[in-house]
Chains A and B, each alone.
Chain A
């Protein structure tokens, strides 16, 4: 199941539609890291609203995506983590430290544009 990646102005939006296998997640990571440079994007939004499970592998891959993209000069925000999923993640000790999160797509875009307008400052209220 391939994840569609949309280019929306200076941002890339990866909208996960259904449960992903490990291979799908790795493919998503590789595509995003490649495209963010090729398309000179300033930010990436990964929408995980459709995921009903985020286990250690999914969490680690999302963190890798964020850090790799940061090294490529852009910012990533994960949006749409479901309440039940967040609850399970913290019990597993998966905190996504250093990875910005936002409620939904709209908030994700707002976060990236705020970040864009004040590039020198850590703008995320929740991205510790």
Chain B
């Protein structure tokens, strides 16, 4: 019953191999490719020179720029010849992976591809300057392909960058919800910033694991640093409290601002089941009471009582 219903040809990445086009266009592209092959060394050097001149890819050495320029050039010509972009796409992704950590920016990548387009167009002008009609037709064949190539490389870079950013956001998220053990069997989870569903899920998972590894009995969740709370976030909070209970621990929520308190009551979140205490300090005292520690206030802690 297994089926494969994927389109056989992905129209976004191909403009059709040369032999599928109208004969004149195909012939022109063949001429073009031949020209770019013959002048490979000179055009490649010209391009590398222009890159340096335009102060692009400054994070890379001259040798590196030349090596990458060669690869891009060859992939570029191949894409023109075959009309398929898989190899170029793969190369663009691979290149992006290598240069993103070195701080190469999107405008630089777009810039170098546009420069190559310019270098090649100029060489076509030079070659066909005596036959304006032919030049026009050559450019007609070249333009769409060149544009698509520029797109492919730029999109590949941006996608890779987005992937890197997503990874970094993930890492920041993990760091931004630290589960702290303040004393035996007591955890504190200070939440700072906006809670979206994904973060809420992550936070709950981290907390539940923390409870198990630390054998915690009481958890204080401090939401002083949470600016807003809507129905979804409130529901997530209730779920966190319920899941904690299932593990056998108790949650104390502290730092509910007047605004959030109003929101919760207005949207009808059942606060009756939630153990809330005004501030973190009070929450920790309440937690210690639950854990069976005797809380001694400052006034009481005179030498007479300290030994109790």
Contacts of A25 in B (CB 8 A): none
B245 close to A103 (CB less than 8 A):
no
Interface majority SS (helix, strand, loop, mixed), chain A: mixed
- Interface range on chain B (Cβ under 8 Å from partner): 20 to 34
What size tier do the contact residues of chain A reach?
20 to 34
Q: Least Cβ distance of A99 to chain B in Å? A: 9
- Whole-angstrom distance between the alpha carbons of A85 and B205 in the complex? 11
Measured CB to CB, the closest approach of chain A to B212, in angstroms, equals 6
- Also in contact, A128 and B245, with CB within 8 A (given A83-B212, A103-B215): yes
B273 within 8 A of A: yes
B250 to chain A, nearest CB (A): 5
Q: Give the distance in Å from the alpha carbon of A69 to the alpha carbon of B168 in the complex.
A: 51
Q: Which of A79, A83, A101, A103 is B209 in contact with, Cβ under 8 Å?
A: A83
Assess A103 versus B212: contact at CB under 8 Å? Given A83-B205, A126-B250.
yes
Contact partner, A90, options B211, B217, B243, B273, Cβ 8 Å: B243
CA distance A126 to B239 in the complex (A): 15
Asked if A119 is an interface residue, CB under 8 A from chain B, the answer is no
By the criterion CB–CB under 8 Å, are A103 and B246 in contact? Answer: no
> Considering only CB atoms, which chain A residue lies closest to B204 in the complex?
A87
Contacts known (A86-B208, A87-B208); A81 close to B242, Cβ less than 8 A: no
Q: Are B243 and A103 closer than 8 Å at their CB atoms?
A: no
Are B215 and A86 in contact, CB atoms less than 8 angstroms apart? Answer: no
Q: Does A64 contact B (CB under 8 A)?
A: no
Report B-chain residues with C-beta under 8 Å of the C-beta of A51.
none
On chain B, the residues within 8 Å of A79 by CB distance are: 248
Inter-chain CA distance A89–B243, complex, in Å, is 8
The answer to whether B215 and A96 touch across the interface, beta carbons within 8 angstroms, is no
Asked whether any CB of chain B lies closer than 8 Å to the CB of A44, the reply is no
Contact A90 B290 (CB under 8 A): no
Q: Which residues of A contact B194 (CB under 8 A)?
A: none
Residues 231 to 281 of chain B near chain A (Cβ within 8 Å): 239, 242-250, 273
Q: Which B residues from 190 to 214 make CB contacts under 8 A with A?
A: 204-205, 208-209, 211-212
Asked whether, in the complex, the Cβ of B247 is within 8 Å of the Cβ of A103, the reply is yes
Q: Is A55 an interface residue (CB 8 A)?
A: no
CB atoms of A86 and B246 under 8 A apart: yes
Please measure, in the bound complex, the distance between the C-alpha atom of A126 and the C-alpha atom of B218, giving whole angstroms.
10
A104–B209 alpha-carbon span in the complex (Å): 14
- How many angstroms from the CA of A79 to the CA of B247 in the assembled complex? 7
With the chains together, A89 CA to B208 CA distance in Å? 13
Contact residues, A92-128 vs B (CB, 8 A): 95-96, 101-104, 107, 125-126, 128
* A43 → B minimal CB distance (Å): 15
Q: Which residue of B lies closest to A128 (CB)?
A: B273
Which residues from chain A contact B242 at a C-beta distance below 8 Å?
90, 95
B215 A101 Cβ-Cβ under 8 A: no
Chain B positions within 8 Å of A102 at CB level: 248
By the criterion CB–CB under 8 Å, are A125 and B290 in contact? Answer: yes
Bound CA span A84–B206, Å: 10
Within 8 Å CB of B243, what residues of A?
A: 83, 86-87, 89-90
What is the distance, in angstroms, from A86's C-beta to the closest C-beta of chain B? 4
Q: Is the CB of B239 within 8 A of A81?
A: no
CA distance A107 to B205 in the complex (A): 22
Of the A-B pairs whose beta carbons lie under 8 Å apart in the complex, a sample of 20, sorted by A's number, is: A79-B248, A81-B246, A81-B247, A83-B209, A85-B246, A86-B243, A86-B247, A87-B204, A87-B208, A89-B246, A90-B242, A90-B243, A91-B239, A95-B245, A101-B245, A103-B212, A103-B249, A107-B217, A125-B217, A126-B245
Which residues on A are within 8 Å of B, measured CB to CB? 79, 81-87, 89-91, 95-96, 101-104, 107, 125-126, 128
Q: Other than A86-B243, A96-B246, A101-B246, give 6 A-B pairs with Cβ distance below 8 A.
A: A81-B246, A83-B212, A83-B243, A86-B244, A90-B243, A103-B247
